[in-house]
Amino acid sequence: MPIDFIANVFHFSKNNTVQEGCKIKTINFKAQQKDTFIKTIPVENDTSADFDGITIEKKSFGKLSKQNKEAHLYTITNKNGASVDFSDFGATVTAIRIPDKNGNLIDVTQGYDSVTPYETLPVGHAGGTIGPCANKINNGKFSINEKTYTLETNKDNGKTHCHGGTSGLDVKLWKTEILSNGIKFSYKKKDMENGYPGNVDMSVIYTFDNNNNLKIKYSAKTDKDTLLNLTNHTYFNLDGENNTEENSILEHIVCLPNSSKITENNEISIPTGNFIDVKNTPFDFLTPHKIKDSINQENEQLKIGSGYDQNYCVDNYDKASLKEIANVYSEKTGILLDVKSNLPGFQFYTANHLGKSSQPAGKSRSRYEKRSALCIEPQFYPNAINTDSFDEKGILKKDEIYDREIIYSFSVK
């Protein structure tokens, strides 16, 4: 859909530099492009050639009707032409363009051409920063320091709170800062906003380098013990986001090399506290195989999720180290996605609930149908705060620093 662009005004010195604190950044302004600036990233001593030739572009993404504010789209492009788009609305990934085995750029993520669908018809949290607490909380209740908090129950006919509720972080307008090697989105959550305690200063830093590594770094600090479980909800189709038809993800080859267990779910996908060994089950991706080879097997857990919608446990998780958690491959394009994280689990989801008649058309002008994408969402285990057998509860204590990371790496083989 078309976007109405509104020109921003930038003030430059005679040599086209902008003073920012103690640094001076050079910006190449193209007068013929309204509402757009191009910023060339300088090569830092600790990055060698990883960011040499990287540019960042900013333009309008449309107006938010509820807030009467302008949303913006930021594009990081590397020297090879690959690029990633981000919106400050929801600190959202809206596009990832990667060269395929023939050298053609392929957009491998589902999304929309303006901010309007993200605001007025949010579907599946596409590409958004999810929180304050990703996934489900049973009955929308949790206790910290012997005090019980009650959240909106927006899922399962009022039985669960999910992904931060209907006004979660993915529908907030974030503050933006252009860094020397990427983009920083910041949001200040007020005490008891959405029912969560604490004034929380949080940020998401996105960097994209010349090796096609998209790095996401989450940081946060609170003045009161709170619950925080941030993740990214990008929908991937490595054949290209224009493959919107039902079951178009089933030919993808998936390997989850460090997950020998999943958490067992009850009938509304709340973990029971028990673990299931994936061996001899449809959830075994310790060795790679196509999704279609196992997604339709007879299995109660698959029935509950209407396909893959399960929390996988990361083997040998140590609370700090980045672990390889997923490899996804398309034989059609030759694109390989590798995922790393320092979180204890991740949701593997095959978009089983897309395809609703209320969905807007995507970037390719057609509706994204059921099982037309997959998500790898690193996280603390769902409902961990209420589950005795889960060690990490996702509690961020006062004055502690939340420090988690996700890396989506793309290559061709």
- Residues pairing with 345 in the sheet: 313, 379
Q: Strand runs (DSSP E) across 30-146, as ranges? A: 37-40, 55-64, 69-77, 83-87, 92-99, 105-107, 129-130, 136-138, 141-144
- DSSP state, 228? -
**CB contact at 8 A, 261 and 278:** yes
Among 91, 55, 56, 85, residue whose Cα is nearest residue 73: 85
- Residues pairing with 305 in the sheet: none
Compute the distance between CA of residue 4 and CA of residue 327 in angstroms, rounded to an integer: 39
Compute the distance between CA of residue 308 and CA of residue 25 in angstroms, rounded to an integer: 46
Q: Is 156 left (phi over 0), alpha (psi -120 to 50) or beta?
A: left
Q: What angle do CA 214, 219, 222 make, to 5 degrees?
A: 160
Identified catalytic residue from 119, 241, 369, 377: 377
Compute the distance between CA of residue 246 and CA of residue 367 in angstroms, rounded to an integer: 10
Structure tokens at 61: 């993404």
Residue 343, phi then psi, degrees to nearest 5: -105, 160
Check if 163 is active-site.
no
Among all chains, which residue has been given the structure tokens 């999943």?
Answer: 262
Among all chains, which residue has been given the structure tokens 């395929």?
Answer: 100
Structure tokens at 385: 């705060």
Check if 125 is active-site.
no
**Cβ atoms within 10 Å of 125's Cβ, excluding its own:** 26
Identified catalytic residue from 125, 161, 233, 252: 233
Collapse the DSSP code of 384 into the 3-class scheme (helix H, G, I; strand E, B; otherwise coil) and give the result. helix
Among 213, 242, 234, residue whose Cα is nearest residue 80: 213
As a whole number of Å, the CA-based R_g of the chain is 21
Element containing residue 119 per DSSP (H, E): helix 115-120
Q: What angle do CA 397, 394, 206 make, to 5 degrees?
A: 95
Residues forming the active site: 233, 377
